[in-house]
Amino acid sequence: MLQLFTIRRVKKATHQTVRLLIMVAITFFGLLFITFLIGRVVPIDPVLAVVGDKASPEVYQQARLAMGLDLPVWRQFFIYMGSVLHGDLGTSVLTAKPVLQDILRVFPATLELAVIATCIGIFVGIPLGVFSAVKRGSFLDHITRVIGLLGYSLPIFWLGLLALIVFYAKLDLLPGPGRIDVFYEDIVDPVTGIMLIDCIIAREWDIFWNALAHIIMPATLLGYYSMAYLSRMTRSFMIEQLRQEYILTARVKGVAEWRVIWGHALGNCAIPLITVVALSFGTLLEGSVLTETVFAWPGLGLYLTKSLLNADMNSVLGSTIVVGTIFLGVNLFSDFLYKVLDPRAR
């Protein structure tokens, strides 16, 4: 009997794994198809981006043949898909290097920014949402909702410019744009690509504090956006949980109020909050384009902006694929945590 039960569980797990892999494959195929269409719909001639406007017709035609643009569209797509699956995202016109190599170089800066901003959103936004739900209708609740509304409404590039004017130009409390001061560049070896960690590894504490000062403004602005989103969602989840009968039962039994709120109610909010945090993190990875542009932060967002301005479609599409793949991976990871934390999901 036990053996039969084990066989059934193995079959069920295998079936779920195969279904998951099929869904991932379909989603990734759709991502490649959409990026391929973007590359064909955008009114930018990829041949001219390579050879320049002053190239002769013969050079233009040779480059067009070399790029395979004379082939049928369906064949171009499958060639493109095969190249991506082999890790070939093309060559950047701007840097003359493989796009994947460029992305691996700039992505740690974006990751560093997004991780710090997400931590700010989690450790500030979730407690604010809990207090707002517990004190619903109070002054604190109104203030939290206004802060969240401003986080959704105010353009992040405007906040970035305002922060630079106030804290850098006027008060001189924080350094200006960039990831680090110019005279500190190329001193620390990029072991991980994350400046703060690399400074700790190299024990360059002056450079560490300088890098930390540079990241405060962009990370705080992105963290404010994340905090506004997380506080609003946490408030909604908590209000729903505080209405449930098990909360009333716990209070009748004499369970301490802090345990009812932070243990029972917030514990049951943890499952949907995982998805919210995952989506927030993915949004910060792809939505930091304006922030990185304002603060001249050498990450994926600034790389993508420069590629767009220089009609470097290989870099634009490659960055889009990487961000989409990360989003897919983050969602899969949140589903995995679902099953770990919630027995019902298993």
Return the pLDDT at 43: 66
Q: What number of other Cβ atoms are within 10 A of residue 322's Cβ?
A: 20
How far apart CA 342 and CA 346 sit, in angstroms, is 7
Structure tokens, 104: 């691996």
The domains of the chain, with CATH numbers, are 12-85 (no CATH), 103-345 (1.10.3720.10)
pLDDT band at 93 (very low <50, low <70, confident <90, very high): confident
Question: Could you report how far apart the first and last alpha carbons of the chain are, in Å?
Answer: 21
Return the pLDDT at 116: 92
- pLDDT higher than 60, residue 346: no
Per-residue pLDDT tens over the stretch 271-296:
888 888 888 887 787 667 888 888 98
> Per-residue b/e over 56-73, b at no fewer than 16 CB within 10 Å?
eeeebeebbeeeeeeeee
Q: Which residues contact 10 (CB under 8 A, 6 or more apart)?
A: none
Rounded to two decimals, the pTM is 0.82
- pLDDT higher than 90, residue 209: yes
Maximum mean pLDDT: which of 12-16, 109-113, 273-277, 308-312: 109-113
Virtual torsion, Cα 75, 80, 82, 84, nearest 10 deg = -170
Max CA pair span of the chain:
86
pLDDT band at 216 (very low <50, low <70, confident <90, very high): very high
Average pLDDT score over the chain: 82
- pLDDT higher than 80, residue 41: no
% of the chain with per-residue pLDDT over 70: 89
Which of 89-93, 157-161, 239-243 shows the lowest mean pLDDT across its residues?
Answer: 89-93
Per-residue pLDDT tens over the stretch 97-118:
888 888 888 889 988 998 999 9
Return the pLDDT at 83: 81
Return the pLDDT at 319: 84
- pLDDT higher than 90, residue 322: no
How far apart CA 199 and CA 222 sit, in angstroms, is 23
Q: What is the mean pLDDT of residues 9-34?
A: 77
Return the pLDDT at 6: 64
